[in-house]
A and B are shown apart, each in its own frame.
Chain A
Amino acid sequence: MNEILLKLLLAAICGGVLCVIAQLLIDLTKLTPARILVLYVSLGVLIYAVGLYEPLYDIFGVGMSLPLIGFGANIGRGVKEAVDSTGALGILTGGIGASAGGITLALVLGLLASLIFKPRSKRM
């Protein structure tokens, strides 16, 4: 039981800290949310490339994989595995292949939502 609680706590701390860093970057610098997301995804690829992602994922679990850093790391892993198995072609096929699930689901749901729902006026 304690082990489960610890895992939840570690995931919460890691996810929380990643969000706070992004919030501070938005509030203190000129960086817009779009730039933050791009930064996080690219950072994810970098962290995977230098071999830091796997050990961090082992500790923090979903706290690492659910933030966009995990999305980037997934792309990194996809590229690496594709290059290992198919050579140079993997440079091009690995990235999208690894992130296909997330991107496809988001796009299809977006399309569905656009057919079902109408945007409502914002409230303050």
Chain B
Amino acid sequence: MKRIVKLNSPISIISHAAVGGGEERRGPLGDKFDFCDITDRFGMDTFETAEGEMGRIALNTALGKAKLSHKDLELLVAGDLQNQCVGTSLGLNSFGIPFLGVYGACSTCTESLLILSSVMENSPDMTYGAAVTTSHNSAAERQFRTPIEYGGQRAPSAQWTSTAAGAFILGRDEGKPSVTEFMVGKMVDGGTADGSNMGGAMSFAAADTILSYFDESGESPSDFDYIVTGDLGKVGSDILKEILARELPGCERFHLDCGLLLYDSERQDIHSGASGCGTSASVLASHLLPLMETGQINRILLLSTGALMSPSSLLQGQNITGIAPLIRIENKGYKKKNTTVNRK
């Protein structure tokens, strides 16, 4: 079974924007975000609507950068962490764009870009589409964990749901970084029912997708600048690196995790790192795509990792299921191996 899907006419990311909250502003990428609200409320009464507003600001900013109006968009693929995607609908419903909602836990960013580029490739008449992903720490805490002002302690392996949004306008400008391939990941048992260890639970799905990809494509990890995972955090990244080092030695050197880029472990009490689907969306929009646009990096694999679970499934002792869809983003005409980038 061939699982890698090549796009015959690559779909490019012509514009993008990242929006974040207070902790994201304090993080190392804070300056690169298009907009941050240190109160995390974005002028709204509830955290649910704040998440929607964050997505609205992100989409408007990305549209502005591309000098487009929302009327130019023919499809919106978007999602968030809230039940029935209300984090998206509360902010984006007024745009009046045909909409597909995506719930892939924290894999939403890659999943949206995958679906949107695939639909656009098969619809030659379609000019522009948008993908938006949001997550909000307070909205997620309320839904999945404890009240916001509840005095609890987080486990060292726990991650911090980011208050962040990423919006992407997709089109057919060949001069921009393009989605050229994708591979849909399998659902993989995370081996744990511990909601404080999502990174660990997702790492096996990420390993499965990465190893399957290189097995089928026959390429070498060194053909890529980075193999980027969404939000494995410290724990999940360490597990992934151990598996990769064992199964495909050398591959682990190209690994980069968005969950470890968003916050500063020196100044911020991050525990295992960032999580939430806004993490990979905002890091892609604020950090990775600008690097690609300036030619500092040219080819990446992006795997936003998702942990499928609910408060009920965890209380029932059911294992978390990990997912890790993959997309390949590269600059057109890029052939030769890049050796100038200093890898972490």
A residues contacting B by CB (< 8 A) are: 26, 33, 119-124
- Determine the main DSSP class of B at the interface with A: loop
Among A119, A120, A121, A124, find the residue whose CB has the most chain B CB atoms closer than 10 A.
A121
Whole-angstrom CA separation of A31 from B2 in the bound complex: 46
- Report B's interface with A, CB cutoff 8 A: 21-23, 39-41, 47, 137-138, 141, 147-149, 152-153, 160, 163, 263, 268-270
Write out the residue numbers on chain B whose beta carbons fall within 8 Å of the beta carbon of A124.
23, 160, 263, 268-270
Determine the residue in chain A with the shortest Cβ distance to B46: A118
**Which secondary structure characterizes the binding site on chain A?**
loop
Cα of A121 to Cα of B44 in the assembled complex, Å: 13
The tally of CB-CB contacts under 8 A between chains A and B is: 31
CA distance A26 to B41 in the complex (A): 33
- A119 and B40 contact, CB distance less than 8 A: no
Chain B CB within 10 A, most for which of A119, A120, A122: A122
B268, A122: Cβ atoms closer than 8 Å: no
Which residues of chain B are near A122, meaning CB under 8 Å? 137-138, 141, 148
Which are the 7 A-B pairs with shortest beta-carbon distances?
A121-B40, A119-B148, A124-B269, A121-B138, A124-B268, A119-B149, A122-B148
B160 touches A120 (CB 8 A): no
How far, in whole Å, are A33 and B148 apart by their CA atoms in the complex? 16
Please list 17 pairs of residues, one from A and one from B, whose beta carbons are closer than 8 Å in the complex, sorted by A's number. A26-B153, A33-B152, A119-B138, A119-B147, A119-B148, A120-B39, A120-B148, A121-B39, A121-B41, A121-B138, A121-B163, A122-B137, A122-B148, A123-B22, A124-B23, A124-B160, A124-B269
> Apart from A121-B39, A122-B137, A122-B141, what are 20 other A-B pairs with CB-CB below 8 Å?
A26-B153, A119-B138, A119-B147, A119-B148, A119-B149, A120-B39, A120-B149, A121-B21, A121-B22, A121-B40, A121-B47, A121-B138, A122-B138, A122-B148, A123-B22, A124-B160, A124-B263, A124-B268, A124-B269, A124-B270
In whole angstroms, what is the CA distance A6 to B214 when docked? 70
Q: How far is the CA of A122 from the CA of B153 in the complex (A)?
A: 12
Q: Chain A: which residue is nearest B268 at the CB level? A: A124
**Residues of chain B within 8 A of A33, CB atoms compared:** 152
State the Cβ distance, A30 to closest chain B Cβ, in Å.
9
Q: What is the minimal beta-carbon distance from B265 to any residue of chain A, in angstroms?
A: 10
Give the shortest distance, in Å, between B314 (CB) and chain A (any CB). Answer: 11
- For B21, the chain A residues whose CB sits under 8 A away are 121
Closest residue of chain A to B41 (Cβ to Cβ) is A121
How far apart sit A79 and B200, CA to CA, in the bound complex (Å)? 48
Contact (Cβ within 8 A) A121 B148: yes
**Nearest B residue to A124 by beta-carbon distance?**
B269
CA A120 – CA B22 in complex, angstroms?
A: 12
Cβ–Cβ < 8 Å partners of A123 in chain B: 22-23
CA–CA, A119 to B23, complex, Å? Answer: 17
Residues of A within 8 A of B138 (CB): 119, 121-122
Contact B152 A121 (CB under 8 A): no
The complex places the Cα of A15 from the Cα of B138 at a distance, in Å, of 32
B40 to chain A minimum Cβ distance, whole angstroms, is: 4
**With A and B bound together, what is the CA distance between A122 and B268 in angstroms?**
13
Complexed CA–CA distance, A85 and B310 (Å): 49
Smallest beta-carbon distance A22→chain B, Å: 12
Q: How far is the CB of B16 from chain A (nearest CB, A)?
A: 25
| Bound: A121/B136 CA distance, A | 10
Q: Which residues of chain B are within 8 angstroms of A26 by Cβ–Cβ distance?
A: 153
Docked pose: A124 CA to B269 CA in angstroms: 5
C-alpha gap A121/B54 in the complex (Å) = 15
Interface contact A121-B147, CB-CB below 8 Å:
no
Residues of B within 8 A of A119 (CB): 138, 147-149
Q: How far is the CA of A33 from the CA of B153 in the complex (A)?
A: 9
In the complex, the answer to whether B149 meets A121 with C-beta atoms within 8 Å is no
- CA distance in complex: A119, B40 (Å): 11
CB distance from B138 to the nearest CB of A (A): 5
CA distance A121 to B39 in the complex (A): 7
Q: CA–CA, A120 to B270, complex, Å?
A: 19
